[in-house]
A = this chain, B = another copy of it.
Amino acid sequence: MKKFQEYIRRVEPYTPGEQPQASNLIKLNTNENPYPPSPKAVEALKEMDMDRLRLYPDPQATVLTSALADYYGVDKEQVFVGVGSDDVLGMAFLTFFNSDLPILFPDITYSFYDVWANLYRIPFACPALDENFRINPEDYKRPNGGVVITNPNAPTGICEPLSFIEKILSYNEDSLVIVDEAYIDFGGESALSLVNRYDNLLVVQTFSKSRSMAGMRIGFAIGNKELIRAMNDVKFSYNSYTMNQTSLAVGKASILDNAYFEECCRKIIHTREHTKEELEKLGFSCTDSATNFLFATHRDIPAETIFEALKAKNIFVRYFKKPRIDNYLRITIGTDEEMEVLLRELKQIIVHK
């Protein structure tokens, strides 16, 4: 082995959900939105001044941060945008988690946190969710280098109320608290209302789920100006121009089309609740989801068996072969038609076992 090979950083790469390429499949495995992006966003993309592609984008991403600031009622200096919420969260870890104390996040949560922590050599500890997959706030009342709470949590789908977030904040005045709200628009109560009261709170959201734009890679963080300035300083030192011209244009247009956004969220919530009822009739039990997915376990048939049987029928859901959750399926909410096919196939699978 040559010297330079010894110094290559070895990481445990994150395994994203399968992106199967067949065309006649039902894809309920990566929490994408079944509805297309706002027609106004599509129009903005088609009509953008294509000559601008030769120019560097505005490094401040002003058109997008301003649109978000107006929409959420904060100053544009309180908004940071990045290439998906993964970029935003990674940048937040790099910017804020530089203490020698471990950062804290639950044992069952978004699976990127420990990967970033390892990548940046940030110590971490993972208090266990209770037997009902709930977070015990008392576990976050100890010296730490920061706290990350996904709310609603993934892949459980369970949302904690604002009073829970405030309790976490009250225990952690000396720590930066990140609330990752990737799924908040499907029924949860956002902590954005708290950012002007807590200078240690950073709320992160994404356009990938509720805004039907996983393919555009747009995420954002909102917090007090000092936090956002620090993140921008790190970002500018890394790559000043991360948001390309197309992201800025469609991101802004999407934010302005609130009616379409709300209608899509409403449809997904409705489909979720209906699907949940039907799954329960089939012998599943589901957590109380405030997201665009259901987290379901069957009373008789192992989750992995159902997962494989669905896959054989070209229906993809997500299965995590991990302790405590290896008898659960995470099922993204698709269109009503897709969920009907899913339920029909599940009935077949259950009858034949």
Contact = CB atoms under 8 A, between A and B. Distances in A.
A116 interface: yes
A216 B245 contact: yes
Contact of A86 (B99, B232, B240): B240
Given A4-B175, A42-B50, A247-B244, A56 B214 contact: yes
A58 interface: yes
Interface string A212-242: 1111110000000011001011101111111
A289 interface: no
A59 interface: yes
A1 to B, nearest CB: 10
Interface residues of A, number: 85
A12 interface: yes
Interface in A44-69: 45-46, 50-59
B16 A37 contact: no
B84 A241 contact: yes
Contacts of A14: 236-237, 240
A90 B226 CA distance: 25
19 contacts: A2-B174, A2-B199, A2-B200, A8-B227, A9-B230, A12-B237, A13-B232, A30-B56, A32-B54, A35-B54, A53-B214, A57-B217, A84-B241, A86-B238, A87-B239, A115-B237, A216-B244, A244-B244, A246-B247
